[in-house]
């Protein structure tokens, strides 16, 4: 008969940011344990609150399945002595498997034993669930009392219940039982008589143990408050998840704050409420203006909620009072005050001041513009980016950013407009840090994209120059994220240029005796982020390697090449293979030729040789799609060439001429792809 099993680990409050991942880890560990122990089950359902991690296993079988296995023993030479009798090695093998030599089986060059292991009762096996609990891993862990085993938080109780029977085990001095604890303040201990009563009994003790149910209730409560007051309350999903992770019995409420604080920019108020106090904010439905109200969620019921509102108002008032003071203090200074101070503040102890960074970035913008104007960038966009570069770090020295550092850039935009800068310049300043995450929001103006791009390039160049290069998972300055941001900005803007040319110019601004090595390391670092981007796009690994193994670092062209090759491979697999095989033969020969020489048309011997040279002379650079088409048109000509011509001919002049042919065609091919990475990767 199918059974239910409940495992609950009761702890002190788990940090909200870890709750869901730990709940998922426990679920997966229980699933793996049951599978490894040969216990059939239908489903494992996870439950979690700040004070507990739990699973309920449904459809659990009564016993382990029996196990029939063949155990390999010693070789036949070792298992038999000179008289053909079983040796001590064979006898020892049989004895170790609790069998006799009569049970030994000869199969080929070895002896074996067929073993039948009868399955144990599920309850007996579940006592080993202590291993599941003890083997949990945590991003941080703590010791407590005299317990030697570290854990995410101290364990206070464990429930281990199969149907109505306690499955006993002990961990960190805590014995498993069928007694759980309710809400810390509203509930009591509760005896669970069966796993199917677990959720219901905890609800009676003011604990909503189902995370999704708890989250849905919070969402509904907030929506109800919004509807009652005709507000628009944006529900930030990350904040909702965090709030759900810190309460067991949620009750949403709202409070008001003084309207004078609305003088502070909305982004500051929202940050103070959302990020610092874990509050939701409200907008007027008709104007979308921020309202002087906040919405929060209490871990408890509605009793004496007015006192809770009063306490939260008091805390928020102090936070907003500081914000208002900082904002007014910031505006009491001229822009020149902050720009002058930038000369006294270093980006890093080994790097120059922020004033120097602004000057480098302004110069870097000019260098990039030379590659992009006029075909891909207007001079007006460059002028906006240059002006923004002259002052874009000034908000780092404002008191508001000192208190709310997550608003850097955003406050720069607000203050820049206050100081009379154009909206375009201010917008570029406001988006300088974008994207902040992989696949995140990107600058939505060309000037902003240009500033953000060069700022990140300058940061990478400087940190690489002082040997602060990420290793392994260690990346304290988020340089990988910045490099991926460079890739995403270029792709979003469809900027078609070789980044190595820009690195040349930017690195020449650095005081480094290892300029060439620095360029190579930085180029490879960015190239690795291009590969990461292509992996996210589900491009085949061999294609990623092939388009990356080129001398240039034209990010846009590399990514377009990968997508075109992937599409060609999937849509016309036989033609794709024929093309790859043909151009690989060329590149295998051409890559060995060191010098580029002109082809001597007077000593071409065969019609197929003349045909290939004629085709080569007609090749033109173009988009990856156009290049692929040209290579596809070459396949039959290349194949005919190799059928009728020996590249390494006996005649030295002819040999050099044919090598020159291979070299010139190789140069054309490897501008887009190194086919040697593809030839062995066919399905």
pLDDT tens string 660-670 = 999 999 999 99
On whether both 48 and 190 belong to a single domain, the answer is yes
On whether both 90 and 143 belong to a single domain, the answer is no
Q: Give the mean model confidence (pLDDT) for residues 225-251.
A: 98
Question: For residue 28, what are its two tokens?
Answer: 């997966």
Ramachandran region, residue 167 (left: φ > 0; alpha: ψ -120 to 50; beta: rest) = beta
User: CA 587, CA 605: separation in Å to the nearest integer?
Assistant: 22
On whether both 109 and 126 belong to a single domain, the answer is no
For residue 545, being part of any structural domain is answered with: no
Cβ neighbours around 200 below 10 Å, total: 10
CB contact at 8 A, 666 and 587: yes
Q: Is the peptide bond before 435 cis (omega within 30 degrees of 0)?
A: yes
Q: Give the mean model confidence (pLDDT) for residues 620-634.
A: 96
Last residue of a domain, one of 479, 505, 536: 536
On whether both 320 and 456 belong to a single domain, the answer is no
Q: Give the mean model confidence (pLDDT) for residues 404-412.
A: 97
Give residue 119's pLDDT: 81
On whether both 31 and 160 belong to a single domain, the answer is yes
Higher pLDDT, 509 or 51: 51
Q: Quick check: 680 pLDDT over 70?
A: no
Q: What is the pTM of this model?
A: 0.85
Q: Quick check: 192 pLDDT over 60?
A: yes
Give residue 635's pLDDT: 97
Contacts of 96 (CB under 8 A, 6+ apart): none
Last residue of a domain, one of 480, 503, 536: 536
For residue 339, being part of any structural domain is answered with: no
User: CA 89, CA 396: separation in Å to the nearest integer?
Assistant: 76
CB contact at 8 A, 159 and 177: yes
User: CA 562, CA 624: separation in Å to the nearest integer?
Assistant: 9
Last residue of a domain, one of 536, 564, 589: 536
SS3 of residue 57 by DSSP: strand
On whether both 530 and 401 belong to a single domain, the answer is yes
Residue-wise DSSP of 25-46 = HHHHHHHHHHHHTT---SEEEE
On whether both 317 and 216 belong to a single domain, the answer is yes
Closest CA to 405 of 280, 267, 235: 267
Pairing mode, if any, of strands 155-162 and 174-177? parallel
Q: Give the mean model confidence (pLDDT) for residues 532-542.
A: 96
On whether both 146 and 241 belong to a single domain, the answer is no
Give the CATH number, domain containing residue 176. Answer: 3.30.70
Give residue 511's pLDDT: 57
Give residue 509's pLDDT: 64
Into how many domains does the chain fold?
5
pLDDT tens figures, 628-663:
999 999 999 999 999 999 999 999 999 999 999 999
CB contact at 8 A, 631 and 568: no
SS3 of residue 350 by DSSP: coil
pLDDT tens figures, 156-191:
999 999 999 999 999 999 999 999 999 999 999 999
Give residue 681's pLDDT: 55
Task: Considering only CA atoms, give the Rg of the chain.
Answer: 35
Average per-residue pLDDT in the chain? 94
On whether both 84 and 12 belong to a single domain, the answer is no
On whether both 223 and 275 belong to a single domain, the answer is yes
User: CA 79, CA 94: separation in Å to the nearest integer?
Assistant: 11
Structural domain harbouring 75: 67-117
What burial class does residue 623 get, using C-beta atoms within 10 Å of its C-beta: 0-12 exposed, 13-18 middle, 19+ buried? middle
Cβ neighbours around 172 below 10 Å, total: 18
The 8-class DSSP code of residue 359 comes to H
Give residue 118's pLDDT: 83
For residue 442, being part of any structural domain is answered with: yes
User: CA 33, CA 25: separation in Å to the nearest integer?
Assistant: 12
On whether both 478 and 625 belong to a single domain, the answer is no
pLDDT band at 108 (very low <50, low <70, confident <90, very high): confident
Contacts of 173 (CB under 8 A, 6+ apart): 147
Q: Give the mean model confidence (pLDDT) for residues 18-24.
A: 98
For residue 357, being part of any structural domain is answered with: yes
- Flag the least confident range among 2-11, 111-120, 224-233: 111-120
For residue 524, being part of any structural domain is answered with: yes
For residue 318, being part of any structural domain is answered with: yes
On whether both 102 and 246 belong to a single domain, the answer is no
pLDDT tens figures, 495-516:
999 999 888 878 776 555 566 7
Q: Give the mean model confidence (pLDDT) for residues 222-228.
A: 98
For residue 682, being part of any structural domain is answered with: no
pLDDT band at 565 (very low <50, low <70, confident <90, very high): very high
Backbone angles phi, psi at 274, to 5 degrees: -75, -50
Long-range contact list for 290-293, CB < 8 A, 24+ apart?
290/262, 290/266, 291/231, 292/256, 292/257, 292/258, 292/259, 292/261, 292/262, 293/229, 293/231, 293/254, 293/255, 293/256, 293/257
SS3 of residue 504 by DSSP: helix
Q: CA of 83: how far to CAs of 86, 106, 302, 406, 625, in Å? A: 9, 17, 89, 84, 76
Give residue 341's pLDDT: 97
Give residue 77's pLDDT: 87
For residue 344, being part of any structural domain is answered with: no
Q: Scan for tokens 């240009």, then name that residue.
A: 450
SS3 of residue 668 by DSSP: helix
Closest CA to 329 of 446, 387, 411, 247: 411
């Amino acid at each position: 008969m199918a059974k239910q099993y409940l495992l609950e680990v009761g702890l002190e409050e788990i940090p909200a940011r870890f709750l869901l991942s730990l709940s998922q880890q426990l679920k997966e560990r229980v699933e793996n344990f049951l599978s490894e122990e040969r216990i059939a089950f239908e489903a494992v359902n996870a439950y979690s609150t700040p004070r507990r991690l739990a699973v309920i296993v449904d459809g659990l079988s009564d016993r382990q399945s029996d196990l029939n296995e063949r155990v390999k023993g010693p070789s036949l030479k070792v298992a038999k002595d000179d008289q053909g009798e079983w040796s001590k090695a064979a006898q020892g093998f049989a004895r170790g498997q609790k069998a006799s030599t009569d049970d030994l089986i000869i199969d080929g060059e070895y002896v074996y034993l067929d073993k039948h292991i009868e399955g144990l009762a599920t309850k007996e096996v579940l006592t080993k669930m202590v291993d599941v609990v003890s083997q949990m891993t945590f991003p941080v862990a703590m010791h407590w009392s005299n317990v030697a085993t570290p854990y995410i938080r101290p364990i206070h109780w464990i429930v281990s219940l199969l149907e109505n029977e306690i499955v006993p085990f002990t961990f960190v001095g805590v014995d498993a039982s069928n007694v759980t604890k309710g809400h810390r303040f509203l509930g009591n201990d509760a005896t669970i008589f069966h796993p199917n009563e677990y959720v219901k009994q905890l609800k009676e003790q003011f604990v909503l143990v189902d995370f999704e149910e708890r989250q849905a209730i919070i969402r509904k409560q907030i929506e109800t408050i919004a509807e009652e007051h005709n507000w628009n309350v944006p529900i930030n999903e990350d904040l909702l998840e965090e709030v759900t992770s810190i309460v067991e019995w949620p009750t949403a409420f709202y409070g008001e704050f003084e309207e004078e604080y609305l003088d502070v920019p909305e982004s500051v108020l929202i940050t103070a409420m959302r990020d610092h106090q874990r509050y939701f904010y409200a907008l007027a439905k008709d104007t979308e203006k921020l309202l002087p109200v906040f919405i929060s969620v209490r871990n408890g019921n509605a009793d004496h909620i007015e006192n809770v509102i009063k306490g939260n108002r008091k805390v928020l008032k102090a936070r907003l009072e500081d914000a208002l003071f900082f904002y007014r203090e910031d505006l009491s200074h001229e822009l020149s005050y902050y720009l002058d101070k930038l000369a006294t503040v270093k980006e890093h102890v080994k790097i120059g001041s922020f004033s120097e960074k602004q000057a480098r970035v302004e110069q870097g913008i000019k260098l990039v513009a030379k590659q992009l104007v006029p075909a891909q960038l207007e001079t007006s966009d460059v002028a906006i980016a240059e002006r923004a570069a002259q002052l874009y770090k000034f908000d780092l020295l404002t008191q508001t950013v000192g208190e709310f550092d997550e608003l850097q850039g955003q406050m720069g935009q607000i203050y820049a407009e206050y100081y009379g800068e154009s909206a375009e310049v201010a917008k570029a300043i406001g988006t300088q840090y974008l994207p902040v995450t992989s696949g995140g929001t990107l600058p939505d103006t060309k000037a902003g994209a240009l500033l953000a791009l060069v700022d990140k390039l300058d940061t990478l160049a400087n940190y690489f120059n002082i040997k602060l290069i990420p290793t392994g998972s260690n990346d304290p300055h988020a340089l990988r994220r910045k490099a991926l941001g460079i890739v995403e900005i270029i792709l979003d803007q469809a900027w078609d240029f070789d980044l190595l040319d820009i690195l040349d110019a930017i690195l020449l601004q650095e005081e480094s005796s290892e300029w060439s090595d620095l360029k190579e390391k930085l180029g490879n670092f960015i190239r690795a982020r291009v590969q990461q981007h292509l992996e996210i796009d589900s491009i085949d690994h061999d294609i990623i390697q092939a388009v990356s193994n080129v001398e240039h670092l034209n990010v846009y062209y590399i990514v377009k090449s990968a997508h075109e090759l992937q599409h060609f491979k999937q849509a016309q697999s036989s033609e794709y293979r024929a093309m790859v095989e043909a151009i690989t033969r060329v590149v295998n020969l051409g890559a060995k030729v060191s010098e580029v020489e002109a082809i001597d048309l007077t000593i071409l011997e065969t019609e197929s040789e003349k045909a290939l040279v004629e085709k080569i002379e007609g090749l033109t650079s173009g988009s990856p799609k156009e290049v692929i088409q040209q290579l596809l048109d070459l396949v039959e000509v290349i194949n005919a060439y190799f059928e009728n011509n020996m590249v390494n001919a006996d005649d030295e002049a002819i040999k050099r001429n044919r090598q020159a042919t291979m070299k010139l065609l190789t140069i054309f091919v490897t501008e887009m792809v190194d086919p040697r990475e593809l030839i062995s990767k066919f399905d």
